[in-house]
Structure 1
Amino acid sequence: MKKLGFVFSSAPHGSASGREGLDAVLATSNYSEDLVLFFVGDGVMQLLADQKPSDVLSRDYISTFKMLSLCDVEEIYVCADSLADRGLSEHPLVIEVEKSSSTDIAASLGRCTKVLQF
């Protein structure tokens, strides 16, 4: 089974990278059910609840992550180490994810045929 991995590693609202990555995932989900999402480094901030992007004149796309469940995207991992490094281990996230160590995420990435980074 070929899996396509999407790695979110940049903070939201500083660039369009996160929004573009989410758009790519949603579009790809129409053609494949073998998608795996990884949130690592500053990318863990993509999933933080209670963001106020309008304060920095950005579009609020974070709530769109909730559509992933409607698109049958079920394998979603967030790096527990990255959350801890940023003091966000207990902060609520907008969707249900599996918190994994960086070692486990690296192993899961190795099982993906192709990996796209945003």
Structure 2
Amino acid sequence: MKNVLVISQHAPFDDQHIRESLDMALIFAAIDQNISWLLSADAVLALKKNQQPELLGIKNYFKTIKTLELYDVENIYVCEKSLMDFKLTKENLIIDVKVANFEQQRALIAQQHQVVTL
């Protein structure tokens, strides 16, 4: 089994970057890879509670994020600085995450066989 990290940095309503990251994580999980997902910069907003993408005419894929654990995608990381930039805490997010500072993110990346940035 290989360690695969998907890194997301784009805002949730900026094109389909977050949706593609979510799909990528699910695809790797389906082929029994040890998948981790790191959200940083604007991407942390994808995990914010009470989103209403339907108001923008966008399909609500945020519900799918909540099912990641069912697919054994349990290693969800968020950038500590990004949370602070948006004045968010773990309690403001729709799923349980691991908060990672810069050094922890660097160590996480170093542990991977494959890194995909979307």
TM-score, L = length of structure 2: 0.91
The structure carrying a bigger helix percent of its residues is 2
CA contact (8 A) 2:90 2:97 kept: no
Task: After TM superposition, give the deviation of residue 90 of structure 1 in Å.
Answer: 6.0
Task: Mark the runs of 5 or more structure 1 residues left unpaired by the alignment.
Answer: none
Question: Who is 1:55 aligned against?
Answer: 55
Runs of 4+ in 1 over 3 A off after TM superposition: none
The aligned runs of 1:34-113 (5 Å cut-off) are 34-89=34-89, 92-113=92-113
Count residues with an aligned counterpart.
118
- Cα 1:22/1:90, change in 2 over 3 Å: closer
Deviations along 1:41-79, one digit per CA (max 9) or x if unpaired, are: 111111111001122221110111111100111111111
| Amino acid in structure 1 at the alignment position of 2:81 | D
**Percent sequence identity over aligned pairs:** 30
| Cα distance in 1 for residues equivalent to 2:90 and 2:66 | 19
Question: Who is 1:2 aligned against?
Answer: 2
CA contact (8 A) 1:6 1:117 kept: yes
- RMSD between aligned residues: 1.4
| Amino acid in structure 2 at the alignment position of 1:39 | L
| Cα distance in 1 for residues equivalent to 2:37 and 2:90 | 21
Once the two structures are overlaid, the 10-residue window that deviates more, 76-85 or 25-34, is: 25-34
Once the two structures are overlaid, the 10-residue window that deviates more, 59-68 or 87-96, is: 87-96
Task: Mark the runs of 5 or more structure 2 residues left unpaired by the alignment.
Answer: none
| Amino acid in structure 2 at the alignment position of 1:71 | Y
Task: After TM superposition, give the deviation of residue 92 of structure 1 in Å.
Answer: 1.4
Q: Secondary structure of the residue that 2:27 maps to in structure 1?
A: helix
Task: After TM superposition, give the deviation of residue 91 of structure 1 in Å.
Answer: 5.5
CA contact (8 A) 2:109 2:115 kept: yes
- Cα 1:46/1:113, change in 2 over 3 Å: same
| Cα distance in 2 for residues equivalent to 1:68 and 1:90 | 17
